[in-house]
Amino acid sequence: MTETPPISMHSEVLRVWGYDTLRPMQQQAIECGIELRDCLTVLPTGGGKSLCYQVPPLLTKKATIVVSPLIALMRDQVRGLELLGYKAAAMHSGIEHDEATDIAKQLLTGDLDLVFAAPERVVTPQFKTLIGLLCDHDRLGNIAVDEAHCISQWGHDFRPEYRRISELRKVAPNVAMQAFTATATPRVRNDIINQLGLRDPEIMVGVFDRPNLTYRVQARENTAEQIQYAVERHRSSGDGGGTIVYCLSRKDTEKVADELRALGLDADAYHAGLDVSTRHNIEQAFSNETLDVVVATVAFGMGIDRSNVRLVVHACMPKSIEAYQQETGRAGRDGLAAECLLLYSPSDGGRWERLIERSAGETGTDPTAQIQLVRDMRRFVASFSCRHAFLSEHFGQEYTPPEGKTGCGACDVCLGETAAEEDAKRIGQIILSAVARTGERFGAAHICDVVRGGKSEKIRGYGHDELGVHGLLEHRRRAEVMSFIDQLVAAGALTRVVEDRFETLAFGECGISVMKGIDSVTLAKPIGTGSEKSERNRRTRASRVNDDRPMNDRERALFEKLRELRKQIATEGGFPPYLVFNDATLREMVHAMPTTRHEMLGVKGIGQAKLDAYGEDFLAAITGTVEQAENTNG
C-alpha cells in the first residue's frame, strides 16, 4: 500500500527521517505543501500527519507555521526535530519576549524551517505583523493547522480560539493553508473547510483501519483482574511497553489504580482534579518509561506522545466510536502490534445517555446527535461481528481482510474468542415475547428480570410472574441476558425508546419475524480472555504487517540492552526516550544486526543526523553482543 515517492521528496525523507517509504496520503499531502496549495488531510491518530507539514519547507526553502493546541507537546516536538538536524522552534505563552524576537529574526533570515504556535498566539497583532513581514520577504510558504477539528462544534474538542485562525488569510493572502485532523465525519470536514476559508482544497482521507491493533470487547466482571491479565500477557511476551486504562470518572481512576497496585502492578491514577505538578510528573514518568500503567480519564493522552503504548483498556464503554477511535489510536503508534481491550457492562450505554440528557437539559441544547453517537457505540460492543470491519465501515470505508483470510485475524470475534450461542433462536423468541406480553412499556432490566424468573414486588405488582415467559431463562446469568438484549437491539429486532427519561424496549424492524421464528438472529456469548492460541495468531498476523515476529531470548536481551541505552541517552539529554529511536526502529536493529554505519543507515527510522549522533553507541552495543554470541558459540 505504500508508494515510492518522487526522487527529491524521497531523498529528503530518507536522509532526515530514515524512512524509505511514505504512507498512503503522506505523499499527496506533502505535494500540496510543496506546490503551496490548500488541502485538508484526514489521517487516523498515528497515521503520520506531522511528516506532511514537516517535509515541504525542506524543498520549498520557505518556512511553515504550524498552529497547534498541544502546547505541552511543543517542546518535545521541537526537540525531536532538532535531533533530526531540522531547524524548528515553538512560540507559546511560556517563552520569553527575547526568545520570541529571536525566533522572528531567524524566520526572516531563513534560519528556521518550521515554527509551532498556539492558536491564541497567531492572531495577536505582533504575530500578524511578523506574518506580513515574512510575506514581504517571500519567506512563508504554508500555514498548517493541526488538530483542525477543534474549529468545529461538531467535533469532539471544540476550541473557540480556532475560529479566528482564518483572519490570517487577510494578512497573508498568498500563503497556502493546510488543515490536518483525525476526525472524519463529513460535517466536521465541511466546517473546517468553511471556517478556515480553504480555497479549492484537495481533500485526502487516509485509511482508517489500524491493522496492528487487536480489538477485544469483554463483559466487565472483575475490572482489575481482567486488566492485570492483559498487562501480564503483554509483559510475558516481551513487549515491555506502556498501558493506558481509561475510566469514566475521577473516582473510578483512583479505585482501579488502587486495585491494580494491590495486585502488584505499578499504576498511577491521572485526572483533571490532580494538581498541575502531579499531573506533569505522571506524564513525564510515563513518557520516560519509568511508569508503565496509567489509569486515567480521557484528559490523559493529549499531552502524551509515547509511541510504544502496547495496551489501551477502556474500563467503561466510551461515548462514541469517534472517541473510541481516538483513544485506542494511542496504542501502537510505532506500528507494532498492540491491543485495545474494552470492558463493558450493558448499563454503560444508559449511563452515558442519562449524562448527556442531563447536561443537555442544563444547557438547553439538543441531545439527539450525541445520543445517536452513543447508540452507534452500543451497536459496536453488542454486534459480535468483525471489529475492524465495523470500525472501517463506520468511517465510510470498506474493509478488506488481509490476503487469503476471511476474517481480520485481529479481533476477538475473528480470533474465535466469542462463541455462537446454540440456543439463539429460542432465546430471541423468549425475550421478544416478554417484550410483547408486557406491552412494550418496560426497560431492559425489567425484561431481564421477567425472563430470569424474578419475584420482585414490581414483577408481582404487574402480574408478570404469571406470564408464560416468566423464568424461561432462569439458568442464564444476568449479564448474559442483558448482553442478549443488547444484541437483539443491534440486530434490529428490538429498539430503545426514550420517554420521560425512561428507556423502554419496543419491537424493531425484524422483531415480529424473529419472534415468529421466520428470521433468525445470531447471538454470541463472550468467552475467555485472549487465549494463548489466539495470541499466537495475532502475532503471526501482525508480523506480516510489520517486523514484529516474536523475539528469541538473545534478541530480547539485545532489545532490552538497546532500550537501556536509549533511556540513558534520553536522560542525559533531558528528553523522552522515544525521541531517540522508537521501538520499531530498535526492533529492526535487533533483527538486522547492523555492524557498519552504512548498514545502520538502512534501518527504518535512522537518518543522517541520528546516525551521526547515536550511531556509534548503538553499533558498539550491537557488535558487543555479536562478539559475545560468537565467543559463546565458538
What is the phi/psi pair of residue 551, to 5°?
A: -95, 145
Q: Which is nearer to Zn ion, 388 or 604 (CB)?
A: 388
374 binds Zn ion (CB under 5 A): no
22 binds ligand ADP (CB under 6 A): yes
> Radius of gyration of the chain from Cα atoms?
27
342 binds Zn ion (CB under 5 A): no
Q: How far is CA 125 from CA 101, 171, 174, 213, 379, in A?
A: 14, 10, 19, 45, 49
The correct pick among 10, 15, 28, 45 for binding ligand ADP (CB under 6 A) is: 45
Whole-angstrom distance, CA of residue 9 vs CA of residue 48: 16
DSSP string, 185-211: -HHHHHHHHHHHT-SS-EEEE-----T
Q: Which is nearer to ligand ADP, 108 or 207 (CB)?
A: 207
Stated as kind and residue range, the H or E segment containing 12 is helix 7-12
Interacting span for Zn ion (CB under 5 A) from 91-99, 134-142, 228-236, 382-390: 382-390
Shortest gap between Cβ of 371 and ligand ADP (angstroms)?
Answer: 29
49 binds ligand ADP (CB under 6 A): yes
Partner whose footprint covers residue 260, from ligand ADP, Zn ion, none (CB < 5 to 8 Å by kind) = none
43 binds ligand ADP (CB under 6 A): yes
Shortest gap between Cβ of 41 and ligand ADP (angstroms)?
Answer: 9
Q: Report which of 340, 337, 275 is spatially closest to residue 312, judged by C-alpha positions.
A: 340
Whole-angstrom distance, CA of residue 589 vs CA of residue 158: 42
Residue in the block written with cell 527521517: 17
386 binds Zn ion (CB under 5 A): yes
Interacting span for Zn ion (CB under 5 A) from 22-30, 187-195, 353-361, 414-422: 414-422
Q: What would the grid cell of residue 355 be?
A: 449524562
Interacting span for Zn ion (CB under 5 A) from 222-230, 240-248, 412-420, 574-582: 412-420
The correct pick among 46, 367, 454, 594 for binding ligand ADP (CB under 6 A) is: 46
Partner whose footprint covers residue 408, from Zn ion, ligand ADP, none (CB < 5 to 8 Å by kind) = Zn ion
Partner whose footprint covers residue 379, from Zn ion, ligand ADP, none (CB < 5 to 8 Å by kind) = none
333 binds ligand ADP (CB under 6 A): yes
The correct pick among 33, 48, 56, 530 for binding ligand ADP (CB under 6 A) is: 48
Q: Report which of 553, 261, 470 is spatially closest to residue 269, judged by C-alpha positions.
A: 261
Q: Which is nearer to ligand ADP, 149 or 233 (CB)?
A: 149
- 396-413 as b/e, with b when 16 or more CB fall inside 10 Å? ebebebeeeeebbbbbbb
Interacting span for ligand ADP (CB under 6 A) from 42-50, 262-270, 351-359, 476-484: 42-50
Shortest gap between Cβ of 311 and Zn ion (angstroms)?
Answer: 18
Q: Which is nearer to ligand ADP, 454 or 605 (CB)?
A: 605
Q: Which is nearer to Zn ion, 533 or 597 (CB)?
A: 533
Burial of 555 (0-12, 13-18, 19+ CB in 10 A): middle
Q: Which is nearer to ligand ADP, 352 or 614 (CB)?
A: 614
Whole-angstrom distance, CA of residue 454 vs CA of residue 458: 9
19 binds ligand ADP (CB under 6 A): yes
Three-state SS at 421: coil
Question: Per-residue x/- mask for ligand ADP, residues 554 to 593, rule CB under 6 A?
Answer: ----------------------------x-----------
Whole-angstrom distance, CA of residue 329 vs CA of residue 294: 16
- What beta strand segments (E) does 570-629 contain? none
Asked whether 3 and 70 are in contact (CB, 8 A), the reply is: no
Q: Which is nearer to ligand ADP, 307 or 383 (CB)?
A: 307
183 binds ligand ADP (CB under 6 A): no
Q: Which is nearer to ligand ADP, 324 or 352 (CB)?
A: 324
Q: How far is CA 123 from CA 100, 117, 169, 171, 272, in A?
A: 15, 10, 11, 10, 28
Task: Report how far apart the first and last C-alpha atoms of the chain are (Å, whole number).
Answer: 44
- Of residues 51 through 70, those in contact with ligand ADP by CB under 6 A are 51
Q: Which is nearer to ligand ADP, 48 or 346 (CB)?
A: 48
Q: What would the grid cell of residue 414 be?
A: 475473528
609 binds ligand ADP (CB under 6 A): no
Shortest gap between Cβ of 582 and ligand ADP (angstroms)?
Answer: 5
Angle between helices 553-573 and 583-592 (to 10 degrees): 130
Whole-angstrom distance, CA of residue 30 vs CA of residue 332: 24
Question: Per-residue x/- mask for ligand ADP, residues 275 to 314, rule CB under 6 A?
Answer: --------------------------------x-------
408 binds Zn ion (CB under 5 A): yes
How big is the site for ligand ADP, counted in residues (CB under 6 A)? 18
619 binds ligand ADP (CB under 6 A): no
Asked whether 218 and 412 are in contact (CB, 8 A), the reply is: yes
Interacting span for Zn ion (CB under 5 A) from 24-32, 43-51, 406-414, 459-467: 406-414
Q: Report which of 335, 491, 318, 322 is spatially closest to residue 395, judged by C-alpha positions.
A: 322
Q: How many of the other CB atoms lie within 10 Å of CB of 301?
A: 22
Whole-angstrom distance, CA of residue 465 vs CA of residue 445: 15
141 binds ligand ADP (CB under 6 A): no
Interacting span for ligand ADP (CB under 6 A) from 16-24, 478-486, 491-499, 503-511: 16-24
328 binds ligand ADP (CB under 6 A): no
- Of residues 528 through 587, those in contact with Zn ion by CB under 5 A are none
Q: Which is nearer to ligand ADP, 328 or 582 (CB)?
A: 582
Q: Report which of 119, 104, 22 is spatially closest to residue 66, judged by C-alpha positions.
A: 119
Q: Which is nearer to Zn ion, 197 or 402 (CB)?
A: 402
Partner whose footprint covers residue 563, from ligand ADP, Zn ion, none (CB < 5 to 8 Å by kind) = none
Burial of 632 (0-12, 13-18, 19+ CB in 10 A): exposed
Burial of 285 (0-12, 13-18, 19+ CB in 10 A): middle
What residues make contact with ligand ADP under the rule CB under 6 A?
A: 19, 21-23, 26, 43, 45-51, 307, 333-334, 582, 604
What residues make contact with Zn ion under the rule CB under 5 A?
A: 386, 388, 407-408, 411, 414
